[in-house]
Chain A
Amino acid sequence: MLWYVLIALLVGVLLGRVWALFIRPEPAGFRREGSRGSTNYILGLNYLISNQTDLAILELGKAAKLDSETVEVFITLGNLFREKGHVERAIQIHRGVLHRSHLSDVERNQALLCLGIDFKKAGIIDRAIGIFEELIQRDPDSINGYLNLAELYEELKDWEKAYAAHEKVLQMGYSTSRMALGFIQNELGLISLGEKDYPGAIKRFQKAISTDPTIYPAYINRGDAYLESGEVPLAINYWEKLIAIAPLKSYLVLDRLKKAYEMVEEPDRYEALLVRLAGENRKDWRVRVALAEHDRENGKAKKAYRWLLEASRINPHSLTVHQFFWRLLLEEGLPRDKVEEYVDASREMVFFLDPYICLKCHYKTTELLWRCPHCHAWNSFVEEKL
């Protein structure tokens, strides 16, 4: 009799296991039952929302102990450990999820993505790349997989691979990668330019511009490539094109144009250009500084003062203007009326040294950068206005 009971018990357990493994319906995405209903889970989420990561880890850890089957609790817990810098625990948790035998595709891909991000955030670059490549093999439509890969390749300055990853993202309909593609073409062009492969560089810069016409450095660099290969009129053409589409960026090419106009023996074009730009853009203080410099060089100090005063009224915070003022005043023997005029104008001025700021991370710099060295955003710098 005892044997029958034992056999019946064993069969019951086996049938239950078979049902759990093969018959129980599995939703396509995450499982909805388990610890998600627990108080700890709800508390954990609340702490997460209020940015109290340590408490969220504590509560979600308890929720995970209550039900070790619920995948998303573990994935979230791993992500929180990663945020706190506990690399090993994050990786262990996400690896643990991946070792489970009955994950849905969505769950497996999510765990892989999180594991890849663990390695990426830990600075273990090769393994992060390996995980994201595995994710893309499993899920060729994984935008996050491609975007993370693109970021890693950009970090390594492997521009060809970064380009390929962004191209995939663009093909999937996410236009945000278009600007990155343009800037990467520009980087590739700069490499060709460094190798004195001017036709190759020009081709790259052209592709950058056709990908996204707001890749301003590509116009500058294309002009440089033409200049290097002896085609000065074409160089002028591309620098003037930049001014036509982005007049406030004209200061980036003014020096180049001045030299190029002299090379083609048309130096007057420079002054005409500056006067036109000053007339068209009442807020362009840099063109006024350029005009002041031009007039100073031609012995017209009085006109130079006028341009500098205008420039300082438009942007009183620019140190460049004030430095120029003092240089000019010293050269002219500190004429009292001009010094007084300057002192009057500068009474309410505030000085600052870092005019450019990254809109994304607020990194400040004295020169215009096309890619933030800190948060890696492309084209994110603007001139800070106090």
Chain B
Amino acid sequence: MFRQKTIRKEVSCSGIGLHSGKEVSLRFKPAGANTGIIFKRTDLKSFAVKPLVKLLSKTRYATSIRRGNVSIETVEHLLATLHVLGIDNLIVELDSPEVPIMDGSAAPFIYLLHEAEIKNINSYRRVIKIKKPIRIEYKGKSIALLPSARFRVTYTIEFDHPLIRRQKISLPIRPKTFADELAPARTFGFLKEVEKIRKNGYAKGGSLDNAIIIGESTILNKSLRFENEFVRHKALDAIGDISFLRHQLIGHLVAVKGGHSLHIELVKKILRERECWEFISPPSMVPVPALKAPALSKEGVGWSKA
């Protein structure tokens, strides 16, 4: 649990950008201890952008980060996968502002990262353990992080739509449960909204190959991968957004009718409320004394030097 990880070898592929509709080249490269996750734009002299809270830009339809004028969009499915697989250090090269949408889920990223062979690094990470509940409620929506023995997600969605209504999922998040139960769940959208988004110049690469499209009374895709695929995808998105903590987490994430904005608000609140959590370090899971913890900044907490 405490060994930092990266990948053994480079892996690359190309996919489609959800908004641009253009081909995007993606390459994963190993990175040394305490490097963190770094996105690099190869079309802009390898300009680097880190997934930091202070760099988050718009969070309505997807999670994006922006440094200066350089954006990396639709990062949440990849970040969720890296978080659950425990990959701390990685260079992600892109020749476009978007992470390719793949099939709208996280499953292709699991395949690619396994192909790259995940390996331990001889350096340790610290893990955030929740001590006291942290909660946000907003207009009937809520999200909380509660103390727990392991990382767990409980997610509930409610849509006034006959094909969704109320769906709930609760499960411990480990690489296998993630790969089997959450990663294949695809992103979804309502037909009415899709046309609006398209008319605004977005989602040019969106299709039934990478999204579930919900009509008035039917789903346009052939079938669903899970009966409650929608809530599974929301849980996947939440993990991607929570990964902006930049640390593994021991706590129970409970969300009701959440979304990208609420997930990110929770991350910000966790970073502010330092008394609600502690760092756990190897080898004896002894809490790190508060005095030795790094000073907090808006961009999150620093990496362990252990």
Specify which chain B residues have a CB less than 8 angstroms from the CB of A127 in the assembled complex: 13
Asked if A85 and B225 sit within 8 Å, CB to CB, the answer is yes
Specify which chain A residues have a CB less than 8 angstroms from the CB of B23 in the assembled complex: 125, 156
Query: B290 contacts the other chain (Cβ, under 8 Å)?
Result: no
Query: A123 contacts the other chain (Cβ, under 8 Å)?
Result: yes
Within 8 A of B (CB), among A99-152: 121-127
Asked if B13 and A85 sit within 8 Å, CB to CB, the answer is no
Specify which chain B residues have a CB less than 8 angstroms from the CB of A123 in the assembled complex: 15-16, 100-104, 108, 209-210
Asked if B16 and A155 sit within 8 Å, CB to CB, the answer is yes
Specify which chain B residues have a CB less than 8 angstroms from the CB of A121 in the assembled complex: 103, 209
A168 CB to nearest chain B CB (Å): 22
B228 CB to nearest chain A CB (Å): 14
Complex CA gap A271/B22 in Å reads 44
Query: B42 contacts the other chain (Cβ, under 8 Å)?
Result: no
Specify which chain A residues have a CB less than 8 angstroms from the CB of B15 in the assembled complex: 123-125
Within 8 A of A (CB), among B187-219: 191, 195, 198, 206-210, 213, 215, 218
Asked if B111 and A87 sit within 8 Å, CB to CB, the answer is yes
A27 CB to nearest chain B CB (Å): 33
Query: B156 contacts the other chain (Cβ, under 8 Å)?
Result: no
Asked if A87 and B218 sit within 8 Å, CB to CB, the answer is no
Specify which chain A residues have a CB less than 8 angstroms from the CB of B198 in the assembled complex: 373
Q: Is the interface of A mostly helix, strand, loop or mixed?
A: loop
B11 CB to nearest chain A CB (Å): 11
- Given A373-B207, A374-B220, A364 and B191 contact (CB-CB distance below 8 Å): yes
Contact flags (1/0) for A283-323 with B, using CB distance below 8 Å? 00000000000000000000000000000000000000000
Complex CA gap A366/B196 in Å reads 10
Specify which chain A residues have a CB less than 8 angstroms from the CB of B108 in the assembled complex: 87, 122-124
Asked if A126 and B14 sit within 8 Å, CB to CB, the answer is yes
A110 CB to nearest chain B CB (Å): 21
Query: A362 contacts the other chain (Cβ, under 8 Å)?
Result: yes
Of the candidates A122, A354, A363, A366, the one whose C-beta lies within 8 Å of that of B111 is A122
B204 and chain A: residue at smallest CB distance? A373
- Given A121-B209, A374-B207, A83 and B100 contact (CB-CB distance below 8 Å): no
Specify which chain B residues have a CB less than 8 angstroms from the CB of A375 in the assembled complex: 207-208, 220
Specify which chain A residues have a CB less than 8 angstroms from the CB of B272 in the assembled complex: none
Query: B30 contacts the other chain (Cβ, under 8 Å)?
Result: no
Specify which chain A residues have a CB less than 8 angstroms from the CB of B269 in the assembled complex: none
Query: B105 contacts the other chain (Cβ, under 8 Å)?
Result: yes
Complex CA gap A362/B215 in Å reads 8
- Given A88-B107, A375-B207, A124 and B13 contact (CB-CB distance below 8 Å): yes
Complex CA gap A312/B23 in Å reads 45
Query: A365 contacts the other chain (Cβ, under 8 Å)?
Result: yes
Asked if A88 and B209 sit within 8 Å, CB to CB, the answer is no
Query: B179 contacts the other chain (Cβ, under 8 Å)?
Result: yes
Complex CA gap A102/B185 in Å reads 37
B257 CB to nearest chain A CB (Å): 24
Of the candidates B21, B195, B209, the one whose C-beta lies within 8 Å of that of A365 is B195
Query: B223 contacts the other chain (Cβ, under 8 Å)?
Result: yes
Specify which chain B residues have a CB less than 8 angstroms from the CB of A124 in the assembled complex: 13-15, 102, 108, 111-112
Query: A65 contacts the other chain (Cβ, under 8 Å)?
Result: no
Within 8 A of A (CB), among B75-122: 100-105, 107-108, 110-112, 114
- Given A85-B184, A127-B13, A363-B213, A122 and B206 contact (CB-CB distance below 8 Å): no
A383 CB to nearest chain B CB (Å): 16
- Given A91-B111, A124-B13, A366 and B195 contact (CB-CB distance below 8 Å): yes
Query: B186 contacts the other chain (Cβ, under 8 Å)?
Result: yes
Specify which chain A residues have a CB less than 8 angstroms from the CB of B180 in the assembled complex: 86
Of the candidates A83, A88, A156, A361, the one whose C-beta lies within 8 Å of that of B110 is A88
A374 CB to nearest chain B CB (Å): 5
Specify which chain B residues have a CB less than 8 angstroms from the CB of A85 in the assembled complex: 103, 105, 107, 183-186, 225
B107 and chain A: residue at smallest CB distance? A87
Specify which chain A residues have a CB less than 8 angstroms from the CB of B13 in the assembled complex: 124-127
Complex CA gap A157/B114 in Å reads 30
Specify which chain A residues have a CB less than 8 angstroms from the CB of B195 in the assembled complex: 354, 364-366
Specify which chain A residues have a CB less than 8 angstroms from the CB of B179 in the assembled complex: 86, 88
Asked if B184 and A84 sit within 8 Å, CB to CB, the answer is yes
Asked if B213 and A374 sit within 8 Å, CB to CB, the answer is yes
Complex CA gap A361/B184 in Å reads 22
Specify which chain A residues have a CB less than 8 angstroms from the CB of B101 in the assembled complex: 123
Of the candidates A83, A354, A361, the one whose C-beta lies within 8 Å of that of B223 is A83
Complex CA gap A122/B218 in Å reads 24
Complex CA gap A337/B213 in Å reads 46
Contact flags (1/0) for A363-382 with B, using CB distance below 8 Å? 11110000001111000000
Complex CA gap A124/B102 in Å reads 6
Specify which chain B residues have a CB less than 8 angstroms from the CB of A83 in the assembled complex: 223, 225
Of the candidates B22, B114, B220, the one whose C-beta lies within 8 Å of that of A363 is B220
Complex CA gap A278/B291 in Å reads 85
Asked if B185 and A125 sit within 8 Å, CB to CB, the answer is no
- Given A362-B220, A374-B208, A122 and B103 contact (CB-CB distance below 8 Å): yes
A129 and chain B: residue at smallest CB distance? B14
Within 8 A of A (CB), among B100-153: 100-105, 107-108, 110-112, 114
Q: B195, B210, B223 — which one has the most chain A CB atoms within 10 A of its CB? A: B195
A151 CB to nearest chain B CB (Å): 9
- Given A85-B186, A88-B114, A361-B220, A125 and B14 contact (CB-CB distance below 8 Å): yes
Asked if B111 and A88 sit within 8 Å, CB to CB, the answer is yes
- Given A85-B103, A86-B184, A125 and B16 contact (CB-CB distance below 8 Å): yes
Complex CA gap A91/B115 in Å reads 11
Q: B101, B183, B209 — which one has the most chain A CB atoms within 10 A of its CB? A: B209
B-side residues, CB < 8 A to A, are 13-16, 21-23, 100-105, 107-108, 110-112, 114, 179-180, 183-186, 191, 195, 198, 206-210, 213, 215, 218, 220, 223, 225
Q: List 13 A-B contacts (CB under 8 A).
A: A85-B107, A86-B180, A87-B110, A88-B110, A122-B103, A123-B103, A124-B13, A124-B14, A125-B14, A125-B15, A126-B13, A126-B14, A374-B207
Besides A124-B15, A125-B14, A155-B207, 16 other A-B contacts (C-beta < 8 A): A83-B225, A85-B225, A88-B111, A91-B111, A121-B209, A122-B102, A123-B102, A124-B13, A124-B14, A156-B22, A156-B23, A363-B220, A373-B206, A375-B208, A375-B220, A376-B207
